[in-house]
Amino acid sequence: MSTVILAEKPSQALAYASALKQSTKKDGYFEIKDPLFTDETFITFGFGHLVELAEPGHYDEKWQNWKLESLPILPDRYDFEVAKDKGKQFKIVAELLKKANTIIVATDSDREGENIAWSIIHKANAFSKDKIFKRLWINSLEKDVIRSGFQNLQPGMNYYPFYQEAQTRQIADWLIGMNASPLYTLNLQQKGVQDTFSLGRVQTPTLYLIFQRQEATENFKKEPFFEVEASIKVIQGSFKGVLSPTQRFKTQEELLAFSFCFF
C-alpha cells in the first residue's frame, strides 16, 4: 500500500517534507515517514503545468503554419501532451501515481491547482475507481498549518468540478489565442505591418488598459478645479471641514449649485 502526495512545484513539496517527521530526498520526489501516514508515503511534484494542450499541428497538418484559409482552428477533441522540457519529471510522477493506492492532491488550493493535478493524473493513466483520492486544502505553508491540513484531508472528488471548470477555461483561452493571433497578424501583414501579434482573453484587454493609462498620462493637461471647504467654529475654537469622500468641481457654478442643496 502506498500514498503519493502530489505538490504543484518543488518549493511546495519541500515545505510539506519539512513539516513532516522524516523525509529523504530522491530524484524528483521525497520518501516520507511520519505517524500521520500508515502506508509507504511519497511526495512528488510538478513544475507547474507538466501537461499542456497540444499545438494545432497535432490535430491537422493544415494548422501547422499560419494561413487565413486554414482558420478557424476548431479540433473535434482536445489532447494534452507532456511539456517538452518536463518529460523526465513527468515520468517520475506518473510511475509513483500509477502505483499508489491513495493520491493526495496537494497543489495550490484553487481551480488552477486542481487543473494542474488532475491533468497530470489523467495523462499518467493513474485515475481509477479503486484508488482513494484526497485533497489537502490549505492556504499557508507554515508547518503547523501543513500538519493540521494533513490531519483533516478532504474527499478529493469534492473538488473535481473545480478542475472541470478550469480546464474549460483553459480550452477557451487556447481557442482565442490560436485563432485570434494568426487572424490579426496575417491581416495586418497584408496591410504592411510586418510583425507578429499575440492575442489572449486576459492578455489583450490588460494591454489595452495599460495603453489607455499611458495615453492618459502622456496627454494629461492641468485643469483648475474647486473643492468645498469650510471653517467651522465651536466653543473650544475652530477647525477646517472638507467633503468626505473628496469631491471636485470643474467650475465655481457647479460647486455653488451643489452647496445650495445643503444650505
- Tell me, yes or no, whether 60 and 131 share the same domain: yes
pLDDT at 262: 59
Q: Taking a C-beta distance cutoff of 8 angstroms, is the pair 105, 135 a contact?
A: yes
- Tell me, yes or no, whether 133 and 61 share the same domain: yes
Paired strand residues for 3: 41, 102
How crowded is the C-beta side of 26, counted as CA atoms within 13 Å?
Answer: 15
Q: How confident is the model at residue 103 (pLDDT cuts 50, 70, 90)?
A: very high
- Tell me, yes or no, whether 41 and 147 share the same domain: yes
Is the backbone peptide bond immediately before 72 cis, with ω within 30 degrees of 0?
A: yes
Among 113, 130, 165, the domain boundary falls at 165
pLDDT, tens only, 55-65: 999 999 999 99
Does 27 reside within a domain? Answer: yes
Does 199 reside within a domain? Answer: no
pLDDT at 259 over 80: no
pTM of the model: 0.81
| Integer Cα distance of 200 and 178 in angstroms | 9
| All three cell numbers of 255 | 460647486
| All three cell numbers of 25 | 530526498
| Alpha helices, DSSP H, located in the chain | 10-19, 87-99, 111-123, 143-151, 160-190, 203-218, 252-260
231 vs 12: which has the higher pLDDT:
12
Q: Taking a C-beta distance cutoff of 8 angstroms, is the pair 196, 212 a contact?
A: no
| All three cell numbers of 228 | 468645498
Provide the angle, in degrees to the nearest 10, between the axes of the packed helices 10-19 and 143-151: 80
10-19 average pLDDT score: 98
- Tell me, yes or no, whether 127 and 28 share the same domain: yes
| Integer Cα distance of 226 and 215 in angstroms | 25
* Site of grid cell 486542481: 114
- Tell me, yes or no, whether 130 and 250 share the same domain: no
| Integer Cα distance of 123 and 157 in angstroms | 17
Q: How confident is the model at residue 257 (pLDDT cuts 50, 70, 90)?
A: confident
Amino acid at 10: P
- Residue 55 maps to which CATH number? 3.40.50.140
pLDDT at 40: 97
Question: Nearest-CA neighbor of 44 among 84, 19, 16?
Answer: 16
Does 176 reside within a domain? Answer: no
61 vs 231: which has the higher pLDDT:
61
Q: What is the DSSP letter of 56?
A: G
- Tell me, yes or no, whether 29 and 155 share the same domain: yes
Does 251 reside within a domain? Answer: yes
Residue 129 domain boundaries:
2-165
- Tell me, yes or no, whether 243 and 114 share the same domain: no
Does 208 reside within a domain? Answer: no
Does 160 reside within a domain? Answer: yes
- Tell me, yes or no, whether 152 and 237 share the same domain: no
- Tell me, yes or no, whether 235 and 159 share the same domain: no
pLDDT, tens only, 67-84: 999 999 999 999 999 988
Among 165, 184, 217, the domain boundary falls at 165
203 vs 253: which has the higher pLDDT:
203
Total domains, the chain: 2
pLDDT, tens only, 144-156: 999 999 999 999 9
Question: Nearest-CA neighbor of 42 among 90, 5, 9?
Answer: 5
Q: Taking a C-beta distance cutoff of 8 angstroms, is the pair 163, 114 a contact?
A: yes
| Integer Cα distance of 130 and 102 in angstroms | 9
